[in-house]
């Protein structure tokens, strides 16, 4: 980016998991990058993603508050549910994500994802925990997976979802735990890249669309797989109206 756009040295503020697309913020100075990092550590940011999942995701806001344990050797995370209220499992870290269906075509759904915490693969593993994994997520969808609330749905990369969405829309979020050391539970560590993928694999249907801070907001367009489409000549209306 420095070479292509003639910019001064850039400083990464956060990172995206491998195969995740969307908004990525760089600062033009170390001082500004540090300011961003302090806001992240203080949980002052909000971030939003859109995901295309298998099945008819339920209406209304769905919250997953379940520990996430990342296995660095396997390059994947698991959800761990505590045995009682307020009893966190020692091997996992507390993680919370809020979800809301934007639209569905009866086989797949476009879902708005708002991570409250920032753990490796948090959104992906929380969606799987709910029973609605990202449709092309080969790491978290097994061949015999049967999604909830869908009839005869199978996982196909070429499947199209019809729903009404703007070609560009906002995204935001807050991520905690930013460190520049390698923390296997931190989604912001620039040095950490989850393993287990072939280099030629296509990107996930998970896209960061907006970051919002105390006095700023950055956003990027929705991806092609979440844009306006048709099913049997019918346009699908979104459950969640686009934000202005």
Region for residue 58 given its phi and psi (left: phi exceeds 0; alpha: psi -120 to 50; beta: otherwise) = beta
Total residues belonging to the chain: 244
Rounded distance, CA 147 to CA 106, Å? Answer: 12
The yes-or-no answer on residue 17 being catalytic is yes
| Catalytic-labelled residue, pool 17, 65, 177, 229 | 17
Q: DSSP labels for 109-140?
A: EEEEEEESS--TTHHHHHHHHHT--BTT-TTT
Instruction: Show which residues are catalytic.
Output: 17
């Amino acid at each position: 980016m420095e070479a292509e756009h003639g910019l001064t040295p850039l400083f990464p503020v956060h990172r995206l998991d491998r195969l995740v697309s969307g908004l990525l913020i760089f600062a033009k100075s170390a001082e500004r990058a540090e300011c961003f990092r302090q806001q992240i550590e203080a949980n002052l940011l909000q971030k939003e993603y859109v995901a295309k999942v298998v099945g008819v995701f339920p209406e209304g806001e769905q919250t997953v508050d379940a520990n996430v344990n990342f296995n660095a050797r396997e390059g994947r995370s698991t959800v761990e549910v505590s045995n009682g209220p307020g009893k966190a499992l020692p091997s996992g870290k507390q993680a919370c994500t809020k979800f809301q269906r934007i639209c569905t075509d009866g086989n797949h759904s476009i879902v708005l994802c708002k991570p409250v915490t920032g753990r490796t693969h948090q959104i992906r593993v929380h969606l799987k925990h709910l029973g609605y994994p990202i449709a092309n997520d080969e790491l978290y969808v097994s061949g015999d997976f049967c999604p909830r609330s869908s009839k005869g749905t199978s996982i196909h990369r070429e499947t199209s979802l019809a729903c009404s969405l703007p070609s560009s829309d906002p995204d935001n979020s807050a991520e905690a735990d930013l460190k520049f050391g390698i923390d296997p539970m931190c989604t912001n560590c620039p040095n950490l890249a989850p393993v287990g993928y072939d280099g030629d694999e296509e990107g996930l249907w998970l896209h960061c669309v907006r970051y919002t801070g105390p006095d700023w907001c950055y956003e990027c367009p929705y991806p092609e797989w979440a844009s306006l489409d048709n099913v049997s000549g019918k346009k699908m209306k979104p459950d969640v109206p686009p934000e202005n």
